[in-house]
Amino acid sequence: MVVLQQLLRLTQQRAFWFTVCLFAIVIISNLLNLFQASNAFLYKKIESLSNTQQTNVVLITSQNLSANHSQLVTQLTEYQPKAIIVLADEPLAPVDNERVFYPYSQSKYCVPNVEIWATYQMRIPAATNLECESVWQAVFGYKHEKSRLINFKLAVSALPKFTAKRVLGFDVMSEQLENKVIIVGQQSAEFNVLIHAPKLEGLNDPLLLFAYIADSLEKNSTINELNFVISIVLALILVFVLLFFFQKMSISYSFLVALSITIIWCCAGYFLVNFAKLFIPIGQYIILTFVTLFWVVVARKISEDKELTTDVNNIQQMMMGRYIPQSFIEHPSPWDPIIQLISQQLDLEKSIFLARKEDDHRVVEIRAINCQLDDIQEMRRDYQRTPYSNALKSLGIVKINRPFFKQIIDGEIEFIAPLVYAGDVRGFWALSIIPNHNFNQQAFEQNVNKFAAQVAELLFHYHIFKTTQAKNRTLLNRLLTFKLHEPISQKVKSSLNEMEQKLTTLEMVFNHTSPATVLFNLFGQVIQTNASLERFAKQHQIAIFETTALDLLCKSCELDIEIAKGKLRYITLNKATVELPAKLGAHHYTLIIRALHSDNSQTASGAPFQVSGILFEFIANTPEISSEAKL
């Protein structure tokens, strides 16, 4: 029953079906032999790496086999060879000798066609289901019921090759032919075809291929292929193990592991072929390794995107009821919040901001306070000339001697300040003021310079941000960085930034509250403290993070432990607020203890009694005025 419930739960998960599809691909690919080309290619490479020099096969070619084959074969029989195989596609008068075979001229014997393995000619067909007796069976007793792979370990240069002219001229030693398997063929036979096999690329001589078959059979070194069922089982086990490891590692480490596994498979294939005469489908296993890696990456990506999308939606829903003002760099124009800042902090008669045109030395009016944009009498708008140049030289606010604004009343003083940050001129700030009897020009200029510096810095960072953003949003850039569609990571980042902004604000507010405040959970652990509490704990030598709510209540209010437990129990069960007198040393406080309510989601995550914590607030009965307040 438990197993059935587990299976039902798994079937409801997308990752489960991804895994099932992967195992189905493994089985189907084996049934359809989809990876045979990779297996054949790697077998060819393995065979190309091995070289032996010893063989009992001799190749003899004749330019006119039909004319001299009788004399040639008769001469060869005198050397007492193991067998002579005459390969000719034309009728020849056979020499009567039990050691001589004419598979193309006699119907008794035949040379089975070499099986094509993914375009490679590397398989010796099975000895069964043949219409005639195979010459390989007659000579070597080859009776395998399944096809075998040709062993190409012999170096091409190590294969003895003689011409009929040398043999007929007695230009060979008896040791070179005695007890050997001799293959006789036409030097340029009519049946010559393109040979696609290890070490034989470009030679295009089928006699060489037959020589390798004879060498493999004579040495009994043909290569067996791994059983089909065992191959499927190993593939499934491999995929299962890789699924386990790839899920526990990052993508980069998984890729390195896949490369390492590839090297291991290649080495294992090489040693098994050369020492165990067994070929395992390493091409298939290597491909399955990377298919599994790709499958895990895709499945992980889909699963993570789904979970992140759900989390983003949940965060956005939670943040809907919590107002978060727009960030400065997110405004369509930086001037609106700047105007609001100046209007709230400074009392000016007139104020106009001018922005520098990009790649130019002219400025243009942008925003005005208490006047119109066309109230400027100065017409040149060239910051290389006065009064702009004077402000740049002084690196601060300067008084304008010539009329700058159109309508100036008696007593009104005009100023201009540069908006420069990191040597970059972002604009100018023209302003005027009507001084009263308490006017302090030096203090006024210092204040304006401070505001101008902050405005310039804001404008500089806004400009850098927007310029970078514009470059990143070009079609080519987004195409090359895979950002044509807004990635889910960007949405997560935005949501986290909103939460961080809200959390930072709340922590800042909590940290600057006057009462010494500490929040405990119901398990007695400290959750949050403010700066006042840290000073309070230091003053009274309380190790606050090693103190429970019960310990703090007993120590500060001098209560018996049973009474203190009762009060905490009452506060928790009734979600009540209690005020108690507290005394630590010579200092007297009012201790306010309240239970903080929690919603159902918090209760499910470990907040019993729907109480997320117990808040302690120590309010001094004789409040001390802080140094900041005195200033």
Summarize pLDDT for 313-364 with one digit per residue, the tens: 877 776 666 656 667 777 888 888 999 889 888 888 899 999 998 888 889 9
Whether residue 191 has pLDDT greater than 60 = no
The CATH code of the domain that includes 436 is 3.30.450.40
* Distances from the Cα of 45 to the Cα of 34, 147, 268, 355, 557, angstroms: 19, 20, 14, 70, 85
Task: Note whether 466 and 493 are same-domain residues.
Answer: no
Q: State the residue range of the domain holding 104.
A: 56-218
Half-sphere exposure of 621 (CA within 13 A, CB side): 12
For residue 142, list its beta bridge partners. Answer: none
* Span 90-111, average pLDDT: 79
Task: Give me the helices (H) in 249-364, please.
Answer: 251-275, 282-319, 335-345
pLDDT band with cut points at 50, 70 and 90 for residue 628 = very low
pLDDT of 404 reads 87
| Of the candidates 428, 485, 472, the residue with the CA atom closest to the CA atom of residue 452 | 428
33-63 pLDDT, tens digit per residue, is: 888 999 999 999 999 888 888 999 999 988 8
- Reduced to 3 states, what is the DSSP secondary structure of residue 489? helix
pLDDT of 483 reads 65
pLDDT of 331 reads 81
430-446 pLDDT, tens digit per residue, is: 999 988 888 888 999 99
In this structure, are strands 577-584 and 587-597 parallel, antiparallel, or unpaired? antiparallel
Judge whether 406 lies within some domain: yes
pLDDT of 581 reads 94
User: How far is residue 409's CA from residue 403's CA, in Å, rounded to a whole number?
Assistant: 11
Whether residue 488 has pLDDT greater than 80 = no
Whether residue 16 has pLDDT greater than 50 = yes
The answer to whether the beta carbons of residues 510 and 609 sit under 8 Å apart is: no
137-171 pLDDT, tens digit per residue, is: 888 888 888 889 999 999 998 999 999 989 888 88
Q: How many CB atoms lie within 10 A of CB 510?
A: 15
Task: Note whether 410 and 482 are same-domain residues.
Answer: no
Judge whether 541 lies within some domain: yes
Which position has the higher pLDDT, 288 or 511? 288
pLDDT of 555 reads 92
For residue 417, list its beta bridge partners. Answer: 429
Judge whether 269 lies within some domain: yes
| Of the candidates 237, 236, 254, the residue with the CA atom closest to the CA atom of residue 245 | 254
Task: Note whether 530 and 589 are same-domain residues.
Answer: yes
pLDDT band with cut points at 50, 70 and 90 for residue 104 = confident
pLDDT of 316 reads 72
Whole-structure pTM value: 0.66
Task: Note whether 62 and 159 are same-domain residues.
Answer: yes
pLDDT band with cut points at 50, 70 and 90 for residue 604 = very low
Task: Note whether 208 and 123 are same-domain residues.
Answer: yes
Task: Note whether 406 and 547 are same-domain residues.
Answer: no
Half-sphere exposure of 489 (CA within 13 A, CB side): 3
Whether residue 475 has pLDDT greater than 80 = no
DSSP 551-606: HHHHHHHT--HHHHHHHHHHHHHHT-EEEEEEEETTEEEEEEEEEEE--HHHHHTT
User: How far is residue 326's CA from residue 338's CA, in Å, rounded to a whole number?
Assistant: 13
Whether residue 12 has pLDDT greater than 60 = no
Which position has the higher pLDDT, 477 or 160? 160
- Asked which of 29-38, 146-155, 251-260, 606-615 is least confident by mean pLDDT, the reply is 606-615
The CATH code of the domain that includes 579 is 3.30.450.20
Whether residue 537 has pLDDT greater than 80 = yes
Q: What percent of the chain has pLDDT over 90?
A: 38
pLDDT band with cut points at 50, 70 and 90 for residue 205 = confident
Whether residue 190 has pLDDT greater than 80 = no
Write out the two tokens for 41.
């290619």
Task: Note whether 92 and 154 are same-domain residues.
Answer: yes
Total count of domains within the chain? 5
pLDDT of 485 reads 65
* Distances from the Cα of 82 to the Cα of 77, 99, 481, 603, angstroms: 9, 7, 70, 91
pLDDT of 225 reads 92
Whether residue 621 has pLDDT greater than 90 = no
Looking at 303, 330, 364, the residue that finishes a domain is: 303
Judge whether 112 lies within some domain: yes
Task: Note whether 182 and 93 are same-domain residues.
Answer: yes
Whether residue 603 has pLDDT greater than 50 = no
* Residue type (1 letter), 39: N
Judge whether 39 lies within some domain: yes
pLDDT of 55 reads 92
Whether residue 623 has pLDDT greater than 60 = no
Judge whether 3 lies within some domain: no
Looking at 167, 200, 218, the residue that finishes a domain is: 218
Task: Note whether 479 and 415 are same-domain residues.
Answer: no
Task: Note whether 199 and 60 are same-domain residues.
Answer: yes
Q: How many CB atoms lie within 10 A of CB 59?
A: 20
Judge whether 1 lies within some domain: no
Task: Note whether 279 and 209 are same-domain residues.
Answer: no
Judge whether 12 lies within some domain: no
Looking at 421, 455, 472, the residue that finishes a domain is: 472
- Asked which of 79-93, 228-242, 276-290 is least confident by mean pLDDT, the reply is 79-93
Whether residue 631 has pLDDT greater than 50 = no
Task: Note whether 369 and 462 are same-domain residues.
Answer: yes
- Asked which of 80-84, 99-103, 567-571, 602-606 is least confident by mean pLDDT, the reply is 602-606
pLDDT of 213 reads 92
Mean confidence (pLDDT) of the chain:
85
The answer to whether the beta carbons of residues 621 and 589 sit under 8 Å apart is: yes
